Amino acid sequence: MENKILVAYASKYGSTKEIAEKIGEVLKQVGVAAVVADLKSARDITPYQNIVIGSAMYMGQWRKEAVNFLKNNEAALSQRKVWVFGTGPSGKGDPAQLLKGVTMPAKVKEIVDRIKPQDSTVFHGNLDAARMSGFEKWIVKRVGGGAGDFRDWQMITDWANKIAGAIKKAG
């Protein structure tokens, strides 16, 4: 296996996809061979020693394709260097605090804990009210969030650079 990285994501409206693309872009800028792919099409992880997995989180749940990917590849992922991120909280402030410390659903956390990732984090999301259903708008209002792009691109870039440093250090 060569030392390249798969940045795989599950996105509903495209915000998580854009975050994954940014991570891939940062990795490529510093010379890390990165492939960015939707988890719906990322089937064979054999060529990758390093993997970033990201999922949008809606109503406290990860996207189904992300959960399935983790379940189906748990053994192989536990043999690789893995980084995990979730997206979703809207509003200002620390994303983990906005989620009251629940940065991933319990069933996902159980799998992720067994994989033992190098790092996991949560990023702010982008809620476009024009693309949301009435039910989604109602949920956002109930949890105290709001529509808007709350992604912190510097935080995302810094995390990607941290990954790049770990990969380069490993050689």
**For range 51-62, the mean pLDDT:** 88
**For range 21-43, the mean pLDDT:** 93
For the cut 70, the answer to whether the pLDDT of residue 73 exceeds it is yes
**For range 76-105, the mean pLDDT:** 77
Q: How many CB atoms lie within 10 A of CB 129?
A: 11
CATH number at residue 116: 3.40.50.360
pTM (two decimals): 0.86
**Which pLDDT band, with edges at 50, 70 and 90, does 1 fall under?**
very low
| β-pair type (61-62, 81-87) | unpaired
Overall number of domains in the chain: 1
What's the domain range around 112?
A: 5-170
**For range 65-92, the mean pLDDT:** 90
Structural contact between residues 145 and 90, judged by C-beta atoms closer than 8 angstroms: yes
